[in-house]
Amino acid sequence: MFIHVVKAGESLWQIANNYHVPMEPIIAANGLTNPNVLVVGEALVIPTEGSVHVVKSGDTLWKIAQWYGVSEQDLASINNITDPKNILPGAVLIIPKKLRPMAGVNGYIDSFGQTAVPTVRRHAGSLTYLSPFAYLIKEDAELQPVDDEPIIQAAKEKSAAPMMAVTNFTSTSKGENLASSILNNPILVEKLLGNILAVMRQKGYQGLNVDFENVLPADRQAYNNFLERAAARLHAEGYFLSTALAPKTGPEQTGLLYEAHDYPAHGRIADFVILMTYEWGYRKGPPQAISPINQIKKVLNYAVSVIPRNNIYLGFQIYARDWALPHRTGQEAETFSPQKAVERAAQYGAVIQYDAVAASPFYHYTDQNGTIHEVWFEDARSAQAKFNAVKDYGLAGISYWTISPTFPQNWVLLEDNFIVKKRPMA
């Protein structure tokens, strides 16, 4: 794959002709609903099929190798090039197949029942795990039921292992007191684990993901003790345990989200952890990149120092946000898909810009009421930056929140970067 950024005056026909590929694969890879309308600054994935490249004026061997994600040495070797500085326009170069590392891929989904089945069927082939989110724990350690059986079955049809997710919070409740009452009561801990295991046996889950957020700092050790007990009971029955961790940059980071999340303990106890490396651009906060790569790398630098790299999944959010300006405290941004973000840019004639430090696209527009808006979203460039981080840091893989929004480029690039691991189905 190659990523092309649309320039003023370019048409899809011109772009396809420049890369010597038909328009149809470009339309499909990018989910273009109107191929006649491109947005200046829009990033397009160009499927090259790894076959040949026709050298153009200004091309260098290094630049071509970067385009296709292969090494300059391999490119020179397969084409018998002895002088990399002397490649002539018009020459046809064979592009070697890119070596793709193995990676685990988790996908959370926050919709249930038959209506969610098409989404699961569309993406489960690219997933190691599907995690319906989530079973909410109650004060008596019972679990609020969810209609997850249709999507579990759909996931298994595509060899995606179902991973049960449990949580203590909702959109209206932080859940800190609920977590405290459970974690500090051994009887309720055993009851909760018994209820979790009963659901896993009944519905065919293969592992558990614990996403306890806003845990009180005083309950840090109680949370670790709960995970120790959970691991013992799950492993005894052949299940795995994973946890979701707030994005910490150091052991002393303060705040309700962070203090009770003990990175070294989770890395030691759980089979793997999912770093929730998103939400810098919070829906009720000021406009900014939602998952900036410069901030993500600060989290990764700490995480890999205390957790085995091959037990870490990088969190990747698939959504966009639109903030009305000027931003006011408590004002909530609109959340929607990356695909809709590009369509909205086209609707208002916006020019898409790219923050190279955050590795994130954004734009401004003025609506019909005269209100100025700022939109941050994900595109092929930002997705590739995250995939590069997974490879550069030697991580286990990627975890998506969530797989529901439309983002065709992501799935094409995912398969271009990694061979997705699959677990044997129970």
**pLDDT at residue 90, rounded to an integer:** 86
CATH number at residue 393: 3.20.20.80
Indicate whether 85 belongs to any domain. yes
Indicate whether 426 belongs to any domain. no
Q: Are residues 197 and 316 in the same domain?
A: yes
CA 43 to chain centre: 18
Indicate whether 141 belongs to any domain. yes
**pLDDT at residue 186, rounded to an integer:** 97
Over residues 411-418, the mean pLDDT reads 94
Q: Are residues 22 and 166 in the same domain?
A: no
- One-letter amino acid at 385 equals A
**pLDDT at residue 353, rounded to an integer:** 98
**pLDDT at residue 426, rounded to an integer:** 67
Indicate whether 425 belongs to any domain. no
Pairing of strands 334-336, 312-317: unpaired
Give the 3-state DSSP-derived string for the chain, with helices as H, strands as E and coil as C: CEEEECCCCCCHHHHHHHHCCCHHHHHHHHCCCCCCCCCCCCEEEECCCCCEEECCCCCCHHHHHHHHCCCHHHHHHHCCCCCCCCCCCCCEEECCCCCCCEEEEEEEECCCCHHHHHHHHHHHHHCCEEEECCEEECCCCCECCCCCHHHHHHHHHCCCEEEEEEECCCCCCCCHHHHHHHHCCHHHHHHHHHHHHHHHHHHCCCEEEEECCCCCHHHHHHHHHHHHHHHHHHHHCCCEEEEEECCCCCCCCCCCCCCCCCHHHHHHHCCEEEECCCCCCCCCCCCCCCCCHHHHHHHHHHHHHHCCHHHEEEEEECCEEEEEECCCCCCCCEEECHHHHHHHHHHHCCCCEEECCCCEEEEEEECCCCCEEEEECCCHHHHHHHHHHHHHHCCCEEEEECCCCCCHHHHHHHHHHCEECCCCCC
Kindly report the average pLDDT of the chain as a whole number.
95
Q: Are residues 376 and 268 in the same domain?
A: yes
**pLDDT at residue 78, rounded to an integer:** 84
- Choosing from 69, 94, 119, the residue where a domain stops is 94
Over residues 316-344, the mean pLDDT reads 96
pTM value?
0.91
Among the listed residues 213, 259, 374, 378, the single catalytic one is 213
At 331-387, the pLDDT tens digits run 999 999 999 999 999 999 999 999 999 999 999 999 999 999 999 999 999 999 999
Indicate whether 341 belongs to any domain. yes
**pLDDT at residue 115, rounded to an integer:** 97
At 125-141, the pLDDT tens digits run 999 999 999 999 999 99
At 84-117, the pLDDT tens digits run 888 988 888 887 777 789 999 999 999 999 999 9
Q: Are residues 14 and 112 in the same domain?
A: no
CATH number at residue 85: 3.10.350.10
Indicate whether 66 belongs to any domain. yes
Q: Are residues 260 and 189 in the same domain?
A: yes
Q: Are 219 and 177 in contact (CB under 8 A)?
A: no
Q: Are residues 32 and 150 in the same domain?
A: no
Q: Tell whether the model's pLDDT for residue 415 goes beyond 90.
A: yes
Indicate whether 247 belongs to any domain. yes
Q: Tell whether the model's pLDDT for residue 50 goes beyond 60.
A: no
**pLDDT at residue 49, rounded to an integer:** 61
- Choosing from 41, 69, 94, the residue where a domain stops is 94
Q: Are residues 327 and 367 in the same domain?
A: yes
Q: Are residues 79 and 122 in the same domain?
A: no
**pLDDT at residue 314, rounded to an integer:** 98
Q: Are residues 10 and 51 in the same domain?
A: yes
* Cα Rg of the chain (Å, integer): 23
Supply the range of the domain harboring residue 399: 102-420
At 167-219, the pLDDT tens digits run 999 988 899 999 999 999 999 999 999 999 999 999 999 999 999 999 999 99
Q: Are residues 69 and 110 in the same domain?
A: no
Looking at the 3D structure of the chain, how many domains does it have? 2
Q: Are residues 188 and 59 in the same domain?
A: no
Indicate whether 82 belongs to any domain. yes
Q: Are residues 21 and 156 in the same domain?
A: no
Task: Check if 149 is active-site.
Answer: no
- Choosing from 71, 94, 117, the residue where a domain stops is 94
